[in-house]
Structure 1
C-alpha cells in the first residue's frame, strides 16, 4: 500500500449544520421503528446526527484532494454536492432508503481508496474499488468502534453506512441493547419465522418477504402473542374488568348508556397514604395526592372528589352488584372517593398538596403534613395506598369510574412468589431511595400485583424460548445446541434471539408497571417510570393493566421491537461486548465516534439496575457472563459521583483520571487516517458564579488534552430531547461534537503572548466564516446561497456560534504541548477558555450585553429554551442566574426571555448600579424617554457619561437588526432614541454642568 499523507475530512472543514440539526430535532417525535422504542436508555444521540457525523469524519474534504479538485471553485462545487447528499442522508424517511445509503457508502469507499492508493484512486470506478477490496489488492475499510456505546445510536449508524461495527460498554444493559441492534439481526438475516400464527391471523401470501430481520420480527410478534395469552390464563383474574352500575351512573349521564357493561381497565389510580398527624384522627390513613384532576381535555374534564364522612367508622353505601365485603374487613374510615365529570373546582388542581416536595394537608382535619413526618411514617413501614379511581376503555374513549371495594380487594390479594430484593443506592438523590421514603430494594418500587405480573411474564420468556426452539427444529434449523452467546446460528441460538426481544418487551413493560408511574391528565394516559433521568417520588400513581390496549401493555413492547427489526437491513456484521473504555483493545485501527458519560449528569449504573434486576432473571441463561453479578458494575463507572468517592473533589479527580486514561487509549489505537469524534453535553446547574465554564466541561476538555488529542473543530448539534416532561425543566438542547486528532509528538511550547497573538489572528476570521459562510471571491455558479456566494456550511446561529467558535480557539491551544504563563507555569483549560471567550464577539460590550444582543438576534422578545440560554450565557462569560439577578431576563419552567423596557424598575440609578450593563443602560434610557421625554432621558444620561457612545452604538445595532428582520414595532423605540439623541445629549451636557456647579455626586 502506498504511503499517503493524512487528508482533512469534511467534518474538519464544513457541515450543513442547520439541516442536520433540523433533522435531529424532528427525529425526537418519531416513534415507530425507532431504536429508542426497543429499550430505554438515557441521553441517546439522534440517528440523524450520528449518521452525519460518522459520514463526515470518513469522507475527504475536497480541499484535501487537489489532484481531483484543483481550484477553489471546483472544491466548492464538490463540497456542495456532498452537502446535498448529507442533507438527504439525515432525513428519517431515508433511514432505510438503500439508494441514498449506498450513495453515502460509495463516497466513504472513494475516500478510503484515496488514502490507500493516492491519486490513482481517481481513475477507479466504485465497482473497481469494491473489486480491489474483495481481491485483496486494497485493504478493507477499517471497522468502527464506540467504547461508550450506551443506547447504540452511533454503532447502528456506522453499521448502516457499511462498516463492520463494534460496540462496547461497561454496563450490561447497554451491551444487551447493542447486541439486539447490531449483532443479532445480521446473524439471522433471511430466516423465515418458525412460530405458529396467533389464533385469528391468516398468512397474507404464500411467499412473504423475509429479507433482513423480518422473519425474526414476525416471530417476536407471534411468541409475544403466545406469552400474553398464557399470562392471561394464569393471572388474568388479578386484572378484572370493571362493571358500570346504575349507582355509578346516578349522577353521571355519560355513564347511563354503559350501565351493565364490563369495561377493560386501562389503569387503577392509587393515592399513597399516611396516618393523620392530628391525634383526633390518628387512625385515619389520609391520602397524599398531588392532583385530583383525571382529564383536563376541553369538553372531557373529569376529576376525583373526596367525600368526608361524619363518622370515622362510616363507609360509602355498598355499590349495587359489588362483591360484598369480606368478613372482618375494616370499614373505610373518614372519607371515600367518587368521580365527577365537568369543569373541576380550583381546589382539585393541587389535590392535598400544600407546596413543593412532601408537603400535604390532612384531608379530614386540614392539618399540615410535612416532609419529616411523611419520611418517618414511610421509613417505619406505615405508608400505604388507597384506590382513588379507575380508568377504563369505553366505546368512545376513556371512562373514569369511582373505586370499588372489589377491585381494591383483588389488587391486595396478589402474592408474588419472587421479587428483586437487591438494595437500591440510598446515597444518591437520583433514586427515590435517596429521598428517605421507605424504598430500600428494587422490589419496593412495585405493588404486589405488579410483581406477580412481572415474574409471570419473566418466566414465560424462558417457556417461549423453549417453545421456539422446538418449532425451529421442526422448521429445519439444526439442533446443534450452540447458544447465542457462543455465536450460534441454529435452533437454540435463534430461539434465544427471539427471547432477547421478548425480554425487552417485558422490561419495557416494567417501565410502565411500577408505582412510580403517574397519570397524565392532559394526554389521558399512563406515563412511564422514567419521565426523566431519575427516579423521583410519585404520590398518586397509576397502575397500568398489561392486558389492555393502552400504554404499558405487553404486546406494545413486542410490536415496537418487531417494527425496529423490520427497519434493520444491516449490510455488515456487528459485535457488542462488555469492556472498560480505559483498558479495551477493540479500538485498534478502528474509526471511533463516541458519546462518553457527562461528568455527573446521569447515574447510568444506579438507574439501569431498575431494568437489570429483571433482565438478569430472563437473560442470565443466555448471557451468563454478562449477567453474572447481582447488579451493574458501579466502582469502575466513569461518572463523577461524590457519594461513591467521598467528596466532590475526589469524584472529579476520579473522573479526570479515568477519562484521561480512556481517551489516551483511544488516541493510541484509533486509525490515523480519521479524526475521532466525541459528543459532550452540558449540565446547566454546573454554571458557576463567574459563568465562564462548568466543572464538567472544563474537566472533560482537560482529559481530552491530557490524552494527547488536539481539537480540530467543535460542532453544536441539537441532540437533547426537550419534549414531554422535560418541557418544564431547564433541559439542554445541544451537544458539542469535538473533532480530535492525535497531537504531534514534537508539538512545541509557546508563551501566553504567542497564544494571544494567534487568537487575534485566527478567531475574527473564523467567526466571520461561521456567520457569513462562503465569503467573497467565489464564483456564484459554485454555491447555493441567496446572494450567489458559495456556502462552505450553513450559517451558524447566534446561540450556537458561541460554542462553535470555541473549537477554533481550542484548536490553537491544543496543538501545543503547553502554553506557558508569564511565571512559567502551564496555562489551564479554564484560563484558555476565558481568553477565547473574549474574542467571541466583534463588539466591545460587556458580557451581559453580549448575551442579550445575541439572544435578541435569535429570539427577539419571545421566550426560548433555558438550555440554549445557558449555553450562550456560558460562552459569553455570564450566567442565566446572574442575568436574572441583574433584572435583564425572566427565567422559569425551562424558558427564558428578555425583559422589555416597560418591565424595568423606574427608580433605577447608575450610581447604585455601578456594574450595570450597556443593555440595561440603553433600555433604561428608552424607558426615561418614553415616560419623561428628552429632559428625563438627558438627566439619566448625565449620570453615566462614559456609557453614551456604547449606548448609542447598541441602539443603532438593534435598530438595524429589527429593521432587517421586519420587526417594525420593536425597532421603533431604538429609532426614537436615535432620532432624539442630539436633544438628549444637550440636556445631559447642561445637567452635568449644573451638577458640577452644585458639586453634586451624580
Structure 2
C-alpha cells in the first residue's frame, strides 16, 4: 500500500507473535482428545486450529500502536522506557551502519515513536500469548481482557464477524468466544448444520438448566451446560430403547479360561472380505483377502489370526494364536497380501489374486465377508476369541428396512470402494450396521417428541415456533437437542461401517475418516454399539464434550449460501474466512457420507437445508478434474469462481478492517512446487483479481519440530493467512523493471522488520511474500517486456529472488573472519578443503587464514582447512575474555548452549554477554539457515538455527532480566 493510508493499520498488518501462535496451534493439533474441542462435535475436514483463529481475529481488529504513538508518549512511564530503548537502538544502529561496508540496505534511523510502538506491541503480544493457550479457552478473565482491547479500538463496541466459507466453523466459533456477533455461511448443508450447532443454537438456550426428569448433575448451569446434560440424558434414553429392539443382534461370548471365563461383552467382530478362488481346482470356494491378521502387536503379547487350510474340504477356518516367533508375526502382519495395492495370494492354492480378479468379483456381486475373530472385554483387558458360527449367522441375519441409495462419486482419488462394486453409500455398511443406524435414527424422532413433553413439564414455553424461525420454547428446545442426537448417529456411522479397520498397535478401531478420503478396506472391525468401544454412549459423551467447550458469549447465525453471490448478513462486518483450497479436499463428495443420515434425522427441523438428496456440488469451489472435464477446465472454474466469491467480499467489506483469508498448502505443494505451486499462485491471482491488495502473509503451522525442515529444504507452513485491503481505485500500471526497482527499495526494510519480530527462518519465505505481494498487488498491472500482464507465479519467483539476495547481502556487515567462514561453509560444509583455496578466500576479504584460525573458527593443518564443529569449540570460552571476538563464534557457542540446555538461565546469560553483537548473531543465524536448508540441504544444521530464532524472543526477555552484580562477572536473574 502507499504511505498515505486512509485507514488505521491493524496489528496484523504490522506484526504478530507468530511463534506463540504456531506453538499453540501445534499443541492443539497434537492433542486429539482436548476436552471441549469443537472437533468432538462432528467430523469436518481440515479445520483450522481454533487458537490460531482466535489470535488472528484479535490481531485483525486491534489497532497497531504505530497509529497512536503520540498518545502513548503522553504516559511518563512509557516515555521513560522509550527513551532508554532509543538510546540503545541508536547506538546499535550507528555501529551497524559503520560496520556495514556499504553492503547492507539502509534502514531508517530509529525514533522515539518506534520505541513507544514496540513497547505497546509487546503488551498486545502478551495478551495474544495468553489468549492462544488452550486452557484459556473458557477463561473469562483472559477473554474479557481481549474484548476490552477490541472495544477500545472499535469505538466502544464489538464488531460483527462474517465467514462466507464457514466449513467446520472454527472462525465464527472463536469470534463468538471473543464476544463478537458471529455470522457464517456455507453452501454445504453439513457445514451449515455444524455451524448452527456450535454458534447459533447454544445462545438461544444459554444458562438454561436441563429439562430431563432425572436427577440433575448440578444446581447451577452456565452457557450450554444444561443443553449438554440433556443431550447425554436423552442419548442414554435412546440407547436403552435401542437395546430392547436390537440387542439380540449383539450377543455376548463365552470367554476362555485364560481370559477369566464366564460371559463377556463383545466390543468388535473382525471380518475379512472374500472372493472366489482364482484356481479352477477350487472353484466355488471363497478365500480371504486380508491386509493383516495381526490383532495385537504389543511386544510380548502379540495376538493374531491363523488361517487353517483344509484342501480336501476346500475350507478355511480361523484360530487365535498368541506370542510366537518373529517370522510368524511378520507373516500375520501381511495377511494374504502379495505386494502393493489389491494383490493377494489364494490361501487354498497359493495362486495370485489380482486386482482385476477382485474388481470383477466385486462388480459381479461375488465379494463376501467372513468372520475371522471376536474381540471382547475380558476381566484383564481385551480378549481375543475364535470366530463362532452362531455369531456369524446372527450378524448375517440382520435385515435393514432402509439403506442409503445415493451413489458415491466416480472419483478414485477420494473414493476407492466403487471400483469393487460398493457403489452406493449404503454399500459401505454391513446389514447389521444399517439396522443399528436405522434404529437410532428412528429414535432421534421419538426422542424429539419425548423431549418436548418433558420440556413442557419443566416449564418451558408452549410456543410452537420452530427452531429455524427463532423459537425458544419447548418445541424448539426439543428440536435443538435432537440436532445433537443426530450428530451422535453421524459419529456412529463414522465408526460403524465396513471400511473401519482394526488397529493392532492400540487394539482399537480406526474411524473411517482418519484421512480425507473413503479408502477400500479388505478386513474390517464391526463394533458393538452397546459395548465399551466406539459405542453409542461413547459418542454421546463425545458430542457432550464438544458442546461443553462452546462459549455463547454473543449472538451467532449460520445460513446456507453460495459465497459467490451471497450478501453480508449485516453491514460493516469484519471478514475472516477459510475457503476451499484448489483441489485439496472434496468436501461436498465426502460430506454425502454424513448427509444421507443427517438428512434422514433433521429434515423436519431444517427442511430447507435438507431439501436436496445430496450435498450441492456444481457450485462448490474445488478444482476437481473429474467434475469439470479435465485439469485445465477445473483450474479455470476454480479461478473464475474464487474470483467471483472474493470480489463479492471486496465490494462489501468495511474499509475499517483488513480481510483475512486462509490458504492451506497440501503436502505435494510443500514438497514439490513450494512457493510457486499452481494452487497457491491461482489462489493469489483470484484474490488480486477480486480487487484486493495483499498487505501481509503470516504462515501458521500446526506441526513444529519434525516439519520445520523437510529433506533439507524450506518446509512451508500448513496454512498461510493473507491480510488484504481494498486496492486503491487510482492504481497505476507499471513495467517489470519498475516493479523490480520497487521490490529492491521496499522489500529489504520489510524483511528486516520481520527479522526484528523474530520470524523463524523456515517461515521467512512465506512471510516475505506479504510485503512483496503488497508491492505487486497495489498496482493495476505489472507489464512484461511484451506488454502482457505479469503472472502471480512470475511475481512470486521475483520476490523469492529478492529474499535470497537480501540474505546474501547481509553477509557484508559481518567481520572478515565471519564472512570467510560463511563462504567456506557454503562451499565445504564441515569437510576439509585445500589451504590454497582458503588463502585466496581470506585475502579477498582482507584477512589471512591465520587470522581465522586465531579467532578459533577453523583448524589448519597439513595443507587442509576445515571449520571447527560446535562440539569441538572451546568449552571454557567467554566472550569478555576473547581478544579476537567474531560473530561466527558468538552464534556457534550460543547454538551449542541452546542445543544442550534449551531456553534456560545459562543460555540467556550467554546471550546477555554477547549483547553488543546480538543483532548480528541473529542475522547470521538467518543467513546460515538459508545456506543449510536451500544450498547444502543439511536439515540438521538448518533446524538448529531455525529453533534458536524461534525462541529468540523468550531468550531475549530472560537475558534482559539478568543484571551484573559485581566486577567478578557473576550474574543474577531479576525476578
TM over 0.5: yes
Q: 2:568 aligns with which of 571, 575, 586?
A: 586
1:596 Cα deviation after fit: 0.3
1:284 matched to 2:308? The reply is no
1:166 Cα deviation after fit: 0.6
Aligned to 1:420, the other structure's residue is in SS state coil
Q: Distance in 2 between matches of 1:664 and 1:571?
A: 31
**Match for residue 752 of structure 2?**
768
1:496 Cα deviation after fit: 0.5
1:153 matched to 2:170? The reply is yes
- Please, what TM-score do these two structures have when normalized by structure 1? 0.76
Over 3 Å counting, the alpha-carbon distance change for 1:398 and 1:688 in structure 2 is: closer
CA contact (8 A) 1:146 1:593 kept: yes
Q: Distance in 2 between matches of 1:144 and 1:536?
A: 37
Q: Distance in 2 between matches of 1:456 and 1:570?
A: 33
1:234 Cα deviation after fit: 0.5
CA contact (8 A) 2:643 2:690 kept: yes
**Match for residue 549 of structure 2?**
567
Over 3 Å counting, the alpha-carbon distance change for 1:405 and 1:935 in structure 2 is: farther
Q: 1:605 aligns with which of 567, 570, 588?
A: 588
**Match for residue 21 of structure 1?**
22
1:770 Cα deviation after fit: 2.3
CA contact (8 A) 1:594 1:679 kept: yes
CA contact (8 A) 2:210 2:216 kept: no
Aligned to 2:167, the other structure's residue is in SS state coil
CA contact (8 A) 2:23 2:704 kept: no
The within-5 A match list for 1:338-737 is 338-341=320-323, 345=328, 346-434=330-418, 436-550=419-533, 552-586=534-568, 588-686=571-669, 693-719=676-702, 734-737=718-721
Q: 1:48 aligns with which of 40, 47, 51?
A: 51
**Match for residue 787 of structure 2?**
824
**Match for residue 806 of structure 1?**
769
The within-5 A match list for 1:270-349 is 270-313=271-314, 333-341=315-323, 345=328, 346-349=330-333
1:244 matched to 2:255? The reply is yes
**Match for residue 222 of structure 1?**
233
Query: 5+ unaligned residues in a row in structure 2: which ranges?
Result: 74-112, 810-822, 842-848, 850-857, 860-864, 871-887, 901-927, 929-975
Over 3 Å counting, the alpha-carbon distance change for 1:165 and 1:407 in structure 2 is: same
Over 3 Å counting, the alpha-carbon distance change for 1:499 and 1:919 in structure 2 is: farther
Which has the larger share of helix? Answer: 2
Aligned to 1:549, the other structure's residue is in SS state coil
CA contact (8 A) 2:502 2:510 kept: yes
Q: 1:166 aligns with which of 159, 165, 183?
A: 183
Q: Distance in 1 between matches of 2:422 and 2:793?
A: 41
Q: 1:177 aligns with which of 180, 194, 197?
A: 194
Aligned to 1:702, the other structure's residue is in SS state helix
Query: 5+ unaligned residues in a row in structure 1: which ranges?
Result: 114-128, 130-139, 314-332, 774-792, 847-916, 942-948, 975-1002
Aligned to 1:569, the other structure's residue is in SS state coil
**Match for residue 895 of structure 2?**
965
1:312 Cα deviation after fit: 2.1
Offset from partner CA, 1:596-616 (integer Å, 9 cap, x none): 000000000000000000000
Aligned to 1:86, the other structure's residue is in SS state helix
CA contact (8 A) 1:302 1:343 kept: no
1:73 matched to 2:119? The reply is no
1:969 Cα deviation after fit: 12
- Please, what TM-score do these two structures have when normalized by structure 2? 0.78
Over 3 Å counting, the alpha-carbon distance change for 1:963 and 1:66 in structure 2 is: closer
The within-5 A match list for 1:734-745 is 734-745=718-729
Q: Distance in 1 between matches of 2:792 and 2:628?
A: 24
Q: 2:738 aligns with which of 723, 730, 754?
A: 754
Aligned to 2:512, the other structure's residue is in SS state coil
Over 3 Å counting, the alpha-carbon distance change for 1:267 and 1:484 in structure 2 is: same
Aligned to 2:306, the other structure's residue is in SS state strand
1:196 matched to 2:199? The reply is no
1:594 Cα deviation after fit: 0.4
CA contact (8 A) 1:426 1:433 kept: no
1:310 Cα deviation after fit: 4.2
Aligned to 1:496, the other structure's residue is in SS state helix
CA contact (8 A) 1:63 1:69 kept: no
CA contact (8 A) 2:185 2:561 kept: yes
Q: Distance in 2 between matches of 1:690 and 1:478?
A: 60
1:69 Cα deviation after fit: 2.2
Q: Distance in 1 between matches of 2:537 and 2:114?
A: 57
CA contact (8 A) 1:295 1:522 kept: yes
Q: Distance in 2 between matches of 1:969 and 1:141?
A: 44
Q: Distance in 1 between matches of 2:462 and 2:195?
A: 26
Over 3 Å counting, the alpha-carbon distance change for 1:372 and 1:920 in structure 2 is: farther
The within-5 A match list for 1:76-155 is 76-113=118-155, 129=156, 140-155=157-172
1:935 Cα deviation after fit: 11
CA contact (8 A) 1:291 1:348 kept: yes
Q: Distance in 2 between matches of 1:768 and 1:557?
A: 51
Offset from partner CA, 1:148-184 (integer Å, 9 cap, x none): 0000010000011111111100000000000000000
CA contact (8 A) 1:304 1:340 kept: no
**Match for residue 815 of structure 1?**
778
Aligned to 2:422, the other structure's residue is in SS state coil
Aligned to 1:839, the other structure's residue is in SS state helix
Q: Distance in 2 between matches of 1:672 and 1:764?
A: 28
Q: Distance in 2 between matches of 1:276 and 1:31?
A: 47
Over 3 Å counting, the alpha-carbon distance change for 1:173 and 1:721 in structure 2 is: farther
1:840 matched to 2:770? The reply is no
CA contact (8 A) 1:295 1:524 kept: yes
**Does 510-519 or 188-197 show the bigger shift?**
188-197
Aligned to 2:154, the other structure's residue is in SS state helix
**Does 394-403 or 503-512 show the bigger shift?**
394-403
Over 3 Å counting, the alpha-carbon distance change for 1:934 and 1:743 in structure 2 is: closer
Q: Distance in 2 between matches of 1:84 and 1:967?
A: 27
Q: Distance in 2 between matches of 1:462 and 1:227?
A: 10
Over 3 Å counting, the alpha-carbon distance change for 1:530 and 1:937 in structure 2 is: farther
Offset from partner CA, 1:406-438 (integer Å, 9 cap, x none): 11111101000111111111134201245x111
Q: Distance in 2 between matches of 1:406 and 1:479?
A: 51
1:360 Cα deviation after fit: 0.9
Over 3 Å counting, the alpha-carbon distance change for 1:691 and 1:94 in structure 2 is: closer
Aligned length: 796
Q: Distance in 1 between matches of 2:320 and 2:763?
A: 52
